[in-house]
Amino acid sequence: MARFTLPRDLYHGKGSLETLKTLKGTKAVIVVGGGSMKRNGFLQRAEEYLNEAGMEVKLIEGVEPDPSVTTVMNGAQVMLDFEPDWIVAMGGGSPIDAAKAMWIKYEYPECTFEDMCKVFGIPELRKKAHFCAIPSTSGTATEVTAFSIITDYEKGIKYPIADFEITPDVAIVDPDLAETMPQKLTAHTGMDAMTHAIEAYVSTANSDYTDPLAIHAIEMIMNELVPSYNGDMEARAKMHNAQCLAGMSFSNALLGIVHSMAHKTGAIFQDYGAHIIHGAANAMYLPKVIAFNAKDETAKKRYGVIADYMGLGGESDDEKVQLLIDYLRGMNDKLNIPHCIKNYGADSYPCEQGFVPEEVFLERVHDIAVNAIGDACTGSNPRQPSVEEMEKLLKCCYYDTEVDF
């Protein structure tokens, strides 16, 4: 038996933020990030709509990119003191992910972060509050997923929390919010969405329910991401829908080792002054993982189907896989994303020598490989790597060398 779970209600289209007026409750907490929602007037509008719905509102502001365990625990304490019956999270993936983890701790104060990380082990929520998610970026799709990514900065590791319980009750996908994205963020979140759709389609948990969502998302991202990056706001609105469709797919079909590797490399080099931004990591690793997974015949055929839907040509599945890899690398070029860690600058742009020194990478690659194998996303990857294979794959992602194993 398999399961397919999405928010009960999804409101979409320009102006759909106004749906907040219809929520029923007495108290709402709004969780937001670094200030873009306030600067652009969306936070104030959300407060006004919730006040119109008859709710007292409290803010939890300043959730950082790659939210920490500390941020989650502090936010949960605010909720325990205020006792909201609605949690409204708005902004990029970070405040929404953080709010999901806060929600767990609010409903179950005795729950530890380690408890939260037990895959599909969270007790029943909604005893105290319901959850509404409003994305401002077009990539993570956390507004429709059963996932949250929280960073343990002491270990330098991002941990996925995975449970259908944290799938939001209401998602509001309003393209007005996405118009505020900077160009770099548009690129990274867009490639995150592309990775979601491709990994979901080849995942061992794919199904007739998830495949159409993944394929349509891929087609849309192929057509809309680069124009959106270049400032086309009609394309930006379509990307906001495309990333959501990709999220619907992967939340139910799960992901693969592109995400496992991105989770475990994102913060591990922070002592050298930067993170490898999640969407950029996915964009760099995706072509390498496709080459690795395509050694599995079932995965190779499914990559071939993706290439067919994209109209890339090719006679054999091998040719189609190579054309898919080439196309994705070309997208990275158009989006100013490097091809490998070695050329990943501290500002995320391509450079001759990136911020991660070779000797540091080689010192840490074994531990990264072990952690990636243990990541929640690895189990649904179509080809299960050994630690040795994961190390080799990570080295290909560092040097941009061919995956021939």
pLDDT (tens digit per residue) in 247-266: 999 999 999 999 999 999 99
Q: What confidence score (pLDDT) does residue 160 get?
A: 86
pTM for the structure as a whole: 0.95
Q: What confidence score (pLDDT) does residue 154 get?
A: 87
Identify the segments of the chain with pLDDT beneath 50. Answer: none
What are φ and ψ of residue 25, in 5° steps?
175, -175
**In 9-66, where do the E strands start and end?**
9-12, 27-31, 56-60
The total number of residues shown for the chain amounts to 405
39 token code pair: 């600067």
- Exposed, middle or buried by CB within 10 Å (0-12, 13-18, 19+), for 227? middle
The count of other CB atoms within 10 Å of the CB of residue 398 is 21
**Integer Cα distance of 120 and 163 in angstroms:** 4
187 within 8 A of 336, measured Cβ to Cβ? yes
211-229 and 183-202 helices, crossing angle to 10°:
160
DSSP classification of residue 378: G
66 within 8 A of 267, measured Cβ to Cβ? yes
199 within 8 A of 379, measured Cβ to Cβ? no
**Integer Cα distance of 262 and 328 in angstroms:** 17
Residue reference for tokens 């939001």 = 168
Q: What confidence score (pLDDT) does residue 32 get?
A: 97
Of 54, 52, 394, the residue nearest 257 (C-alpha): 394
Q: What confidence score (pLDDT) does residue 168 get?
A: 98
Give me the helices (H) in 182-277, please.
183-202, 211-229, 233-253, 257-265
